[in-house]
Amino acid sequence: MDQKGIELMDPILKGVNLTKRYGKVVALDNCDFELYPGEILGVIGDNGAGKSTLIKALSGAVVPDGGEVWLEGKRVRFATPNDARHAGIETVYQTLAVSPALSIADNMFMGREIRKKGLRGKLLRQLDKQAMEQFARQKLSDLGLMTIQNINQAVETLSGGQRQGVAVARAAAFGSKVIILDEPTAALGVKESRKVLELIADVRNRGIPIILISHNMPHVFEVCDRVHVHRLGKRLTVIDPKNHTMSDAVAYMTGAKEPEAA
């Protein structure tokens, strides 16, 4: 993909001069951020660089002290993660935010269940389980994910990769504009990581831009179109993984090397 081509478009999600302080610690220091339509943007940075605060500011989990967030050219203010979700920003947390004892379908529709039409839905508030199961199965197989036979099985009976798949499918299923993935491969084995990476590329190919936070350099360099390097509470630079090595990235991240003037 041509980087310049992307730059010509307007960013779908943009952060301007974001600032967040925790007492004396400055977690975000006038940080800028851009995500363009149709891309996978990697976010890397050393521990304590403030990348998780950046992500929380974008997903509504943290209200920044200063700066602005823009979504599709409109200024947005998120007070809670739910605000961000309603605006179309889905986050897949490292903990996955799934309820282990509930079924795959229940989990996919948690907080946005479908009720039956007519009296049974209105008066008895009965859920349309059939529609929900069908939708869930559809979404999972769309993503080429699942050979899951029983959509009603409890999430805790799934493997780590399958759970991740359910969480990603949930994020991608509801017409979202942006998906944020927080360390999706951190807890997975080699085989399962591979599957999840394929899944991420798949979601991007469906046109949903993705922010990928990861410590795993090979994974970041493999799937990302651009990589946002975070250091000391702000964006140090954005690199193209095709023109840089992983060693470069690590050097920028840790301050061992300064990027050429952008």
Partner 1 sequence: MADKSDNYESVLGGATQNVASFENSRKTPLMRLQGTLHHTPSLVPLIVLVGAILIFTGWLGPRFLPQMSLVFQQIQIVGILALAQSLIILTAGIDLSVGAIAVFCSVIMGQATFRYGLPPAVALMVGFAVGTGLGAVSGWLVSRVKIPPFIATLGMWQIVLAANYIYSRNETIRARDIREEAPVLQWLGNTPNEQLVVWIEGLRGITYERIRPNVTDQFWLDLIWQTKITYGVLLLIAMAFVLSYMLRATAWGRHVYAVGDDPEAAQLAGVNVNRTLMSVYMLSGFICAVAGWIMIGRIGSVSPSASTGVVGNIQSITAVVIGGISLFGGRGSIWGAFFGALIVGVFELGLRMAGANAQWTYLIIGFLIIGAVAVDQWIRKVSN
Residue 159 near residue 187 (C-beta atoms within 8 A): no
Q: Which residues contact 8 (CB under 8 A, 6 or more apart)?
A: none
Residue 107 near residue 98 (C-beta atoms within 8 A): yes
Backbone angles phi, psi at 87, to 5 degrees: -80, -10
**Would you count residue 118 as binding partner 1 (CB under 8 A)?**
no
Q: Which of 14, 20, 51, 85 binds partner 1 (CB under 8 A)?
A: 85
Window 202-241: contact mask with partner 1 (x via CB under 8 A): ---------------xx--xx------------------x
Q: Least distance from C-beta 22 to partner 1, angstroms?
A: 20
Number of residues that bind partner 1 (CB under 8 A): 53
**Would you count residue 125 as binding partner 1 (CB under 8 A)?**
yes
Residue 74 near residue 11 (C-beta atoms within 8 A): no
Q: Least distance from C-beta 47 to partner 1, angstroms?
A: 22
Both tokens of 34, joined, read 């851009």
Q: Tell me whether residue 161 or residue 233 sits nearer to partner 1 (CB atom).
A: 161
**Would you count residue 47 as binding partner 1 (CB under 8 A)?**
no
Separation between Cα atoms, residue 192 and residue 195, nearest integer Å: 5
Q: Which of 30, 72, 129, 131 binds partner 1 (CB under 8 A)?
A: 129
What pairs with residue 227 in β-bridges? 42, 239
**Would you count residue 63 as binding partner 1 (CB under 8 A)?**
no
The DSSP line for 116-173 is PSSHHHHTS--B-HHHHHHHHHHHHHHTT----S-TTSBGGGS-HHHHHHHHHHHHHH
Residue length of the chain: 262
Q: Tell me whether residue 70 or residue 93 sits nearer to partner 1 (CB atom).
A: 93
Window 160-199: contact mask with partner 1 (x via CB under 8 A): -xx--x----x-------------------xxx-xx----
Q: Tell me whether residue 208 or residue 249 sits nearer to partner 1 (CB atom).
A: 249
Q: Least distance from C-beta 4 to partner 1, angstroms?
A: 20
* Residue burial 176-202, b: 16+ Cβ < 10 Å; e: rest: bbbbbbbbbbeebeeebbebbbebbeb
**Would you count residue 75 as binding partner 1 (CB under 8 A)?**
no
Residue 147 near residue 137 (C-beta atoms within 8 A): no
**Would you count residue 244 as binding partner 1 (CB under 8 A)?**
yes
Separation between Cα atoms, residue 49 and residue 44, nearest integer Å: 9
**Would you count residue 94 as binding partner 1 (CB under 8 A)?**
no
**Binding interface with partner 1 (CB under 8 A):** 81-82, 85, 91, 93, 95-102, 106-107, 109-113, 115, 124-127, 129, 145-149, 154, 156-157, 159, 161-162, 165, 170, 190-192, 194-195, 217-218, 221-222, 241-242, 244-246
